[in-house]
Amino acid sequence: MSNDYEMVRPRIVSVGENIGYRQSFSVAFAVPLYLDFSVLSVRLVAPSFTTHSFAMNQRMVVMKLAGVKRLAQDTYEIGVVGPSTAEIAPPGYYLLFVVHADIPSSAMWVKLQ
């Protein structure tokens, strides 16, 4: 990614390894230039697989947010609520991203159960 976006690109500092349905959890992240809560999201992306030239299991879930608080100069904690049902996001491993001003962080693996 271009260095032009480094000031707004989030970096996940910590997140729990397990996420439960309808359960609250928090994600700590660092970003040098925090803009606004309205340009912030947390997303789960299912790892897809390909067979016989078809990509399957493609799924991205935008999580419900419950507020953000400042922990340190460049570090924030965002409250997140897990998906409501297994129909929206089946149990399993997902890549979790923090997205700030349309710029994604590197992902962290989490288990949805």
Token couple for 63:
């999580």
CATH superfamily for 3-105 is: Immunoglobulins (2.60.40.10)
Instruction: Indicate whether 1 pLDDT > 80.
Output: no
Residue-range domain boundaries for the chain: 3-105
Binning pLDDT at 50, 70 and 90, where does residue 78 land? very high
User: What one-letter code names the amino acid at 104?
Assistant: P
- pLDDT of the residue at 7: 92
Instruction: Indicate whether 20 pLDDT > 90.
Output: yes
